[in-house]
Structures are given as structure tokens and as C-alpha cells.
């Protein structure tokens, strides 16, 4: 649906304000919300549902596809919420690789070399996943890996492990911040759940 089609569906101008779009959507939704047709024939219910979906789509198109001006506030919001690039991700992961190298090489490992490699591999997976998608599960994986690393570093303190943790702090913070930005971006552009009729 184009902005012009969306504006026509809601009966507003293409450059209507967010408040005008929301008012037009609410007025249309009051008459076409599927809950109002619970006693109607299946055909009437189906038509009402299709009309409500059309109005909802039109509202979302008008609210989320505003043309952006480099001088306007929409530009700065869009710029701040951009997804982390592959080049930035590679730079952070390079610093993390240095941290892993410093932590492992020359340290007295309490277990086999497979343990820190697996732990840092899971940490890397969590950081990349969270930075690119903003999903909570990846963040939990990051926190768990950091907690295990901190406990092992305290229990088996070596200069290499401490230095490695210090170096790893920078890419971890950078990628977690990128993931939080992506999470906020996902929340802002996700479609709102369908309101109940009594909320309209």
C-alpha cells in the first residue's frame, strides 16, 4: 500500500500529522472492528475484518514511512537507530579476538584449551546475534558467558586472563549497545497489537 492509497483509505491528506492519522484510524475502527460484528453473518464479519486490516495497514504506512529531511528531527532519529554495519561488527570482533588471544596464550588454563575457546565462541555468537537482532535470548547468552568468565578469572587469576577481560570489555560494551539500539528499532517499527473495541 502506498502513502497515497493509505491516505485515501483513512480519508486524510498524505502529509497528515500523526495525531490526524490516529484520529482517522480510530473513527474508522469504531465502525469496522471485528468485535462489533460478532452476531453478524460470516460474510459480514469477514468484510469487517478485511476493512479493519486495511485501515490498520493504512495507519501503519502513514505513521512509519514519512519522507525524511536531512535537516529535520526524523533524520537524526533514523541515523541514531541504524543497524550496526558489517564493518563495525568486524572491527569489534577483531578487538574481541585480541582479548581471547591474550587471555588464552601464556595462561595456566585450569581445564583444556577447548573450554575457553567454547566459552568465547558462545560469547561471540551472543554478541553478534544481539548486535544484529536485538533479541533477548542472545543478551542472556552474553551475560552468562561474561559471568562464567568472571568467576573463572577470579578463581584462577592470571595476568593474561585479567588483561584479556579488560580488552574484551570494549567490544562487549560496543556490541551490547548496538544490540540495544536494534532492540529499540525493532520495538518502534513492530506493529502494535490490535486494540479491543472498548479501547477505541
Taking each helix axis from N to C end, the angle separating 3-10 and 18-32, rounded to the nearest 10 degrees, works out to 60
The x, y and z cell numbers of residue 148, run together, are: 562464567
Beta carbons of 181 and 80 less than 8 angstroms apart:
yes
- Which pLDDT value is given to residue 125? 92
CA gap 102, 125 in Å, rounded: 19
Model confidence at 175: pLDDT above 80: yes
Q: What share of the chain is helix, strand, coil (3-state, %, to 5)?
A: 75, 0, 25
Architecture (CATH level 2) of domain 3-67:
Orthogonal Bundle (1.10)
Beta carbons of 192 and 110 less than 8 angstroms apart:
no
Model confidence at 109: pLDDT above 50: yes
- Flag whether the pTM goes above 0.85: no
Model confidence at 86: pLDDT above 80: yes
CA gap 23, 17 in Å, rounded: 10
As a whole number, the mean pLDDT across the chain is 77
Q: For residue 11, how many other CB atoms are within 10 A of its CB? A: 11
Q: For residue 181, how many other CB atoms are within 10 A of its CB? A: 17
Beta carbons of 99 and 172 less than 8 angstroms apart:
no
CA gap 116, 143 in Å, rounded: 16
Segment 85-90 shows an average pLDDT of 86
Query: What SS3 class is residue 84?
Result: coil
Distances (CA, A) of 44 to 10, 39, 184: 20, 9, 38
More confident residue, 198 or 31: 31
**Tens of pLDDT along 118-128?**
888 998 999 89
CA gap 82, 131 in Å, rounded: 11
Beta carbons of 178 and 131 less than 8 angstroms apart:
yes
**Tens of pLDDT along 179-189?**
888 887 777 66
Amino acid at each position: 500500500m502506498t502513502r497515497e492509497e493509505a491516505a485515501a483509505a483513512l480519508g486524510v491528506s498524505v502529509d497528515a500529522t500523526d495525531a490526524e492519522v490516529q484520529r482517522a484510524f480510530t473513527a474508522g475502527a469504531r465502525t469496522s472492528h471485528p468485535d462489533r460484528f460478532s452476531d453478524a453473518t460470516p460474510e459480514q464479519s469477514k468484510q469487517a475484518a478485511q476493512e479493519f486490516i486495511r485501515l490498520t495497514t493504512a495507519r501503519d504506512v502513514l505513521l512509519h514511512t514519512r519522507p525524511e529531511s536531512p535537516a529535520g528531527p526524523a533524520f537524526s532519529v533514523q541515523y541514531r537507530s541504524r543497524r550496526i554495519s558489517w564493518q563495525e561488527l568486524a572491527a569489534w570482533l577483531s578487538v574481541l579476538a585480541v582479548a581471547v588471544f591474550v587471555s588464552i596464550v601464556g595462561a595456566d588454563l585450569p581445564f583444556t584449551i577447548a573450554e575457553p575457546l567454547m566459552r568465547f565462541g558462545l560469547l561471540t555468537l551472543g554478541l553478534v546475534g544481539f548486535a544484529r537482532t536485538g533479541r533477548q535470548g542472545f543478551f542472556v547468552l552474553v551475560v552468562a558467558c561474561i559471568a562464567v568468565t568472571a568467576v573463572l578469572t577470579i578463581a584462577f587469576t592470571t595476568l593474561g586472563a585479567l588483561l584479556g577481560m579488560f580488552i574484551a570489555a570494549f567490544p562487549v560494551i560496543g556490541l551490547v549497545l548496538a544490540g540495544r539500539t536494534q532492540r529499540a528499532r525493532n520495538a518502534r517499527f513492530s506493529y502494535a497489537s490490535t486494540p479491543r473495541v472498548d479501547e477505541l
